[in-house]
Structure 1
Amino acid sequence: MNRLIVSENEPITLLGGAPIDASLLAEGLRLAPKAVAADGGAKALFDHGHCPLAVIGDLDSLAPDLQAQVPAERLHRIAEQDSTDFEKCLSRIEAPLIVGVGFLGGRADHQMAVQSVLVRYAHQRCLLIGTQDIICVVPPQFALDLPVGTRVSLFPMAPTKVASQGLDWPTDGLEFSPSGQIGTSNRCNGKLVLAPENCSMLLILPRKFAEPVASALQCAPKWPAPL
């Protein structure tokens, strides 16, 4: 197990290196005012007048002049190359919720790697906020009130099943897999209730529901940490 670098009793915002604007950063910080940066994600914080609580990563994406602005005790270089900076962060942060900003909408390979890490660290409550959408791992039991007609997408990162209520196209009995049945572009017709059989299912919703999803995630049961 990796040594914890950040341990907080309140949600934190984690900044990645994908392009973000001021409104996206402000939304993350409104949900979780304390900020940690994954390597080059620190630049967005400095550009908007914030200093990160910690910077974690191999630091190959953070310019030397920006590294010099980070107090030495907040700069955590993890040199190994077997994990991404996002994984380096998730494995070293303890918080009731991690709000990830700057992980969606950049390079496609980076976003796919982020989605893979999300399900491998499903015991971490983590909500990713992008320009249009939000993404999280569906907890063991999840309930959320959404307006009728809201787009609800489910994407499996591995074979799984999910019981559901409140969807136009029910998912009960379906066998999901990345190369087979997926559940994108469904619609909500009532209170959304999801109960997946494992931690492989991603939930994708419009960005405007970031706040209620953040609250619902903190109330939902967690997936157990791997042994």
Structure 2
Amino acid sequence: MSAVLYRAPGPVTLIGGGPVPPERLAEAARLAPEIYAADGGGDVVPPPGHRLRAVIGDMDSLRDPAALAAAGVALRRIAEQDSTDLEKCLYSIAAPLYLGVGFLGGRLDHELAALNAVAKNPDRRLILIGREDLCLLVPAAGLAFEAAAGDRVSLFPMGPCRGTRSTGLRWPVTGLDFAPGERVGTSNAATGGPVAIGFDGGPMLAILPAAYLGRLARG
């Protein structure tokens, strides 16, 4: 693992090389205006009024690094192959929150690797944002947010865990055991109002509507 290259006082946006819905990138940039790219994500043009600070990764996907360098974008090549480009961004940038766009959708192996990065980095507050969904880790202290009745609250275990807290869900999860290859918690739904969930063990991923980004990023 390399040393920290950048320290951000506020949230940062990370752009990946997968599908990047413009409206999701624009929303992420409003919430986290300091923007970095993971390798091929550097080919994506930032929203108007924003600039790309640096591209981080092994640089095997970036189409025109010379043009980016000429535009003043820093190119930070990290050659090690024990981590993905998303993980390279996470350990190279110290920030209180990371909003990742361009990591969900597209190639399934890349998407699974991104979800694995969420699960294996509990010390990094990371929200991945797709066209319809966002995904984040349920912290050890639990996750709480406001939800409209009927809105989807899906839970997917990345390791064995047990529900310890469950309010505001149509199907409560308190006392239930979850594990990959066994019980999962997809397609649950909110009853309307405050939702609070917690687990022992894990990691547990929460998959929520992309429209919830603002309330989760500010929470």
TM-score, normalized by length of structure 1? 0.89
After superposition, the C-alpha distances for 1:162-182 in whole angstroms (9 at most, x for unaligned) are 221111111111111110000
How many angstroms does 1:47 deviate by? 8.4
Paired position in structure 2 for 1:201:
204
Structure with greater proportional strand content: 2
Identical counterparts, % of pairs:
45
More divergent stretch after superposition (88-97 vs 176-185): 88-97
Letter in 1 for 2:145: L
Give, as a single letter, the amino acid of the residue that structure 2 aligns with 1:167.
L
- State the alpha-carbon separation in 2 of the partners of residues 158 and 88 from structure 1: 23
| Alpha-carbon spacing, 1:177–1:69, altered in 2? closer, same or farther (3 Å) | farther
**Letter in structure 2 aligned against 1:6:** Y
Q: Residue 126 of structure 1: CA displacement?
A: 0.6
CA distance in 1, matches of 2:39, 2:13: 14
Structure 2 unaligned blocks of 5 or more: none
Gaps of 5+ in 1: 217-227
1:186 aligns with 2:194: no
Q: Distance in 2 between matches of 1:95 and 1:45?
A: 22
Task: Provide Cα deviations, 1:10-64, integer angstroms capped at 9, x if missing partner.
Answer: 0000000012132121011011111011011011136867531121100111123
**Following superposition of structure 1 onto structure 2, how do residues 1-227 of structure 1 map, counting pairs within 5 Å?**
2-45=2-45, 50-64=50-64, 65-69=66-70, 71=72, 74-140=74-140, 141-163=142-164, 164-189=166-191, 190-216=193-219
Indicate the RMSD between aligned Cα atoms, in angstroms. Answer: 1.7
Does the 8 Å CA contact 1:142/1:193 hold for their aligned counterparts?
yes
Aligned residues: 215
Deviation string for 1:169-197 (max 9, x for gaps)? 11111111110000000011141101121
Q: 1:28 to 1:184 in 2, by over 3 A?
A: same
> In 2, distance between residues paired with 1:50 and 1:69?
17
Counterpart of 1:221 in structure 2 is none
Following superposition, which runs of at least 4 residues in structure 1 exceed 3 angstroms of deviation?
A: 46-51, 64-72
Return the alpha-carbon distance in structure 2 between the equivalents of residues 11 and 5 of structure 1.
Answer: 16
Which whole-Å CA distance do the structure 2 matches of 1:146 and 1:131 have between them? Answer: 19
Residues 6, 54 of structure 1: 8 Å contact kept: no
Letter in 2 for 1:172: T
